Amino acid sequence: MPADRDVWAYLYHYRDDEDFGLLRGRYDAEFREFWWAGGSLTTSVLAWVDTEEQPAFCIEAVRACIASLQPLVDNCDDEIAHMAEDWLHREVLRAVVAGHPDAQAIAAAALESRAVKFTRYYS
């Protein structure tokens, strides 16, 4: 992720009702903080998009979020990986319900997350 300019990032944080969100800002790798207009968050960036305009939720975004699961698993963060997967599936369902033009493609792409092997916690 570039540190010299603002980007859009899907990230994990503890601030809102949703544990994940899409924000525009700049990542400080030294302090593992994502700086945005509302302040800074100590966070895990799942995926980022280098564009000025807010990116649409699309198949590329779904695949980028899925690709971010393996590094979480490799760092022994199965719990966050599971939360990220659940969030992604909710976002896809919301998009499908809202009539997303590529609903079938993003739903099929989201199901690919099951190929990432990690412990999924259920309570």
Domain ranges of the chain: 7-115
| The model's pTM | 0.78
Write the DSSP assignment of 6-59 as a string of letters. Answer: -EEEEEE-SSSSSSEEEEEEEEETTTTEEEETTEEEE-EEEEEE--SSPPP--H
State the pLDDT at residue 21: 78
**Phi and psi (nearest 5°) for 55?**
-70, 150
- Among the ranges given (22-26, 39-43, 75-79), the one the predictor scored with the smallest mean pLDDT: 39-43
What are the beta bridge partners of residue 10?
22, 47
Residue 47 pLDDT greater than 60, yes or no = yes
Average pLDDT over residues 15-37: 77
Contact 41, 82 (CB under 8 A): no
Q: Give dist(CA 42, CA 25) in Å, integer.
A: 13
Paired tokens of 72 = 């979480």
pLDDT at res. 55: 80
Q: What is the mean pLDDT of the chain?
A: 84
Backbone angles phi, psi at 56, to 5 degrees: -75, 150
